[in-house]
């Protein structure tokens, strides 16, 4: 009996052990399924032991909580994965559309640079500003005069004089083509000060024209021969480098012309600084390409900004419109604002026509005054001619052997029978861009002229060594365009004072040489209105004329010759065409003869 009881107890004990083992196995499986991190293992084991002792339902709640947390982690990971996929898709779309933009711009730039596209059709909504080199854009009839605000002798300091013009024109593109005088005159001794002033003006231009792309055309270089004669042009690379370095800070586009200049130096004129008409299309293409590359980068950056702000793969109205609109606007520069620029001359005429009845009498009075002035000049010239002829007749009667050749020379020059250019073999002409015409138009060889665009009388001393080696019989000083325009001298007295000092040094250097000051040629009324500083020309001339004898120089009066031939003035109102040079030369030679017979 006891044996059966023991057997039954053993069986119950075994069953109990089996059940206990099953429960432990279940707990282990649950623990493995929700296995905590290493840092939480001890806490988890303690929790399970405690839960098993106290409340079986606590274990269920624990397992349920752990499952919920794990599901949340899974959903968070899935959300992040989807967001990353969406971001990558959005970036891929951005890159695709940026590539399309770049391809569009590069295609148009390639058409321009290859010459496939007529470059001048790209300037329909543009304005070019600059000096005598920029004048060529309209002088050679590439662009209408209304789109070119340029004049010989100008520097960046003349830009503000045209703010009203610019505000009225509202160009989409503004090209600044200065530098010839900026480097040559001496307002700025080094590149840092020049670049600082360029940026000040650029900031003012942005404020005046907030929607305009402003391009700084790097200063075209001078030839080595020109630099040797006028060392101030050696500053051009430094000026350009300093401007280029800070253009980006002021949203100013830098058009680098170094490569095209180096490849086309054969298009430079004999003065070594001006360029002939073959260079202008090349220059124009480079300017437009620089503006388009700037627009390309702006459009690409704006597209990326819009996509990022939108956050939906670039499907917003803003990103779509900007991405599609930018190329369209830049594709049609000649159509967008051409009417405004082309109408400018007509619009400016309308007020004149409407006011014509009121102004007719004053205009007639002004014409009468001009006619009276011209009559006075002609009377003075007739009296002077009579004096020369009478004086020569007297001198020939006294000593025919000495004076007959002089009379013959005068008669030939005055009548036009003598080739005036044969009379300059023992002479040197010095001057500015107007004097350059003596050799640019091939009237005289380069060895007879020492003239450079932007020069003033202050450049004369730079050529003393050259003058001493030539030792000419006559030196003709043909300056004044920049002398009156730049502002070194506020009035004729200051100008004559400095000229006297220079001439004294010239006399010491060349004691046997005649020095002839050619009176400063005037500007047209239109040029005076654009640059009022040229109105000082008559005052400068009057003071030099009054003191010529004191300076020991000959004064050549060009007033009548200029007044009778203003049709020879170029569209910029200050330079002259080739028809005027023989008249100018004849006038200077007669002034020498007049001095000989005193």
- Summarised one tens digit per residue, pLDDT across range 152-162 is 888 999 999 99
Q: Could you tell me which residues are beta bridge partners of residue 255?
A: 217
Highest mean pLDDT among 63-72, 356-365, 444-453: 444-453
Cα-based distances in Å from 7 to 12, 17, 18, 19? 9, 15, 16, 18
Helix axes 492-509, 537-551, angle to 10 degrees: 40
What pLDDT, on a 0 to 100 scale, did the predictor assign at position 532?
Answer: 87
Q: Which two tokens stand for residue 292?
A: 């388009």
Mean pLDDT of 322-338: 38
Query: Which pTM value belongs to this model?
Result: 0.50
Residue 37: per-residue pLDDT: 52
Please tell me the total number of residues recorded for the chain in this structure: 598
Q: Identify whether the C-beta of residue 135 lies closer than 8 Å to the C-beta of residue 346.
A: no
**CB-CB neighbours of 354 under 10 Å:** 9
pLDDT exceeds cutoff 80 at 112? no
Q: Does residue 344 have a pLDDT over 60?
A: no
Which of 223-227, 307-311, 406-410 holds the top average pLDDT? 406-410
Residues 478/431, Cβ–Cβ less than 8 Å: yes
Average pLDDT of the chain to the nearest whole number: 81
Burial class (CB in 10 A: 0-12, 13-18, 19+), 133: buried
pLDDT band for 7, please (50, 70, 90 cuts): low
| CB atoms inside a 10 Å sphere around CB 489 | 22
Task: Label residue 439 by pLDDT band (50, 70, 90).
Answer: confident
What would you report as the CA-atom Rg of the chain, rounded to the nearest whole angstrom? Answer: 42
> Which band of pLDDT confidence, cut at 50, 70 and 90, is reported for residue 47?
low
User: 10 Å Cβ neighbour count for 291?
Assistant: 24
According to the model, what pLDDT value does residue 337 have? 39
Q: Which of 170, 133, 359, 72 is nearest to 267 (CA)?
A: 133
Higher model confidence: residue 535 or residue 101? 535
Of the candidate ranges 68-72, 80-84, 94-98, 122-126, the one whose mean pLDDT is the lowest: 94-98
Stretch 3-28: mean pLDDT: 61
DSSP 3-state of 270: coil
Q: What is the mean pLDDT of residues 207-225?
A: 95
Question: Quick check: helix, strand or coil at residue 143?
Answer: coil
Lowest mean pLDDT among 82-91, 93-102, 292-301, 346-355: 346-355
Evaluate whether 258 touches 116 at the Cβ level (below 8 Å): no
Mean pLDDT over residues 65-76, rounded?
A: 81
pLDDT of residue 544: 97
| Most confident region among 129-143, 191-205, 336-350, 378-392 by mean pLDDT | 191-205
Q: Which of 22-31, 172-181, 234-243, 380-389 has the lowest mean pLDDT?
A: 22-31
């Amino acid at each position: 009996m006891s044996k059966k009881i023991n057997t039954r107890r053993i069986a119950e004990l075994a069953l109990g052990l089996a059940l206990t083992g099953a429960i432990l196995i279940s707990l282990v499986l649950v623990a493995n399924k929700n296995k905590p991190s290493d840092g939480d293992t001890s806490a988890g084991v303690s929790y399970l032991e405690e839960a098993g002792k106290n409340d079986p339902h606590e274990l269920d709640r624990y397992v349920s909580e752990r499952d919920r947390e794990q599901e949340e982690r899974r959903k968070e990971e899935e959300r992040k994965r989807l967001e990353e996929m969406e971001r990558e898709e959005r970036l891929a779309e951005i890159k695709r559309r940026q590539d399309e933009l770049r391809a569009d711009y590069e295609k148009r730039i390639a058409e321009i640079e290859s010459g496939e596209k007529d470059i001048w059709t790209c300037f329909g909504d543009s304005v070019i500003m600059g000096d005598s080199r920029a004048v060529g854009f309209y002088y050679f009839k590439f662009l209408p005069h209304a789109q070119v605000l340029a004049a010989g002798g100008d520097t960046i300091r003349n830009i503000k004089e045209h703010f009203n013009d610019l505000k009225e024109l509202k160009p989409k593109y503004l090209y600044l083509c200065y530098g010839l005088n900026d480097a040559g005159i001496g307002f700025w001794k080094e590149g840092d000060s020049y670049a600082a002033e360029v940026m000040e003006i650029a900031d003012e231009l942005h404020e005046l024209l907030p929607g305009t792309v402003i391009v700084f055309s790097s200063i075209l270089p001078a030839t080595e021969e020109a630099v040797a004669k006028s060392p101030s042009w050696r500053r051009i690379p430094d000026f350009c480098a300093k401007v280029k370095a800070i253009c980006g800070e002021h949203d100013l586009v830098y058009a680098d012309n170094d490569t095209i200049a180096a490849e086309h130096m054969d298009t430079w004129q004999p003065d070594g600084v001006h360029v002939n008409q073959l260079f202008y299309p090349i220059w124009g293409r480079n300017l437009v390409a620089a503006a388009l590359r700037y627009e390309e980068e702006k459009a690409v950056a704006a597209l990326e900004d819009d996509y990022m702000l939108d956050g939906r793969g670039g499907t917003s109205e803003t990103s779509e419109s900007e991405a599609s609109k930018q190329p369209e606007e830049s594709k049609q520069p000649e159509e967008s604002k051409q009417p405004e620029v082309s109408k400018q001359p007509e619009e400016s005429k309308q007020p004149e026509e409407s006011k014509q009845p009121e102004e007719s009498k004053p205009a007639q009075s002004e014409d009468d005054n001009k006619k009276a002035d011209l009559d006075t000049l002609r009377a003075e010239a007739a009296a002077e001619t009579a004096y020369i002829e009478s004086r020569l007749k007297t001198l020939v009667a006294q000593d025919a052997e000495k004076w007959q050749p002089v009379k013959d020379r005068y008669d030939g020059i005055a009548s036009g029978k003598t080739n005036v250019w044969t009379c300059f073999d023992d002479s040197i002409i010095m001057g500015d861009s107007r004097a350059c015409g003596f050799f640019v138009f091939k009237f005289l060889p380069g060895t007879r002229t020492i003239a450079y665009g932007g020069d003033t009388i202050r450049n004369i001393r730079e050529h003393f060594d050259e003058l001493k080696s030539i030792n000419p019989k006559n030196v003709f000083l043909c300056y004044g365009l920049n002398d009156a325009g730049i502002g070194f001298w506020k009035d004729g007295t200051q100008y004559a004072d400095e000229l006297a000092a220079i001439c004294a040094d010239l006399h010491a250097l060349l004691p046997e040489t005649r020095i002839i000051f050619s009176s400063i040629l005037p500007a047209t009324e239109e040029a005076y209105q654009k640059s009022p500083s040229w109105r000082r020309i008559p005052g400068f001339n009057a003071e030099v004329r009054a003191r010529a004898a004191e300076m020991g120089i000959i004064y050549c009066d060009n007033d009548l010759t200029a007044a009778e031939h203003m049709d020879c003035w170029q569209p910029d109102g200050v330079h002259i065409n080739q028809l005027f040079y023989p008249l100018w030369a004849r006038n200077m030679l007669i002034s020498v003869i007049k001095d000989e017979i005193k």
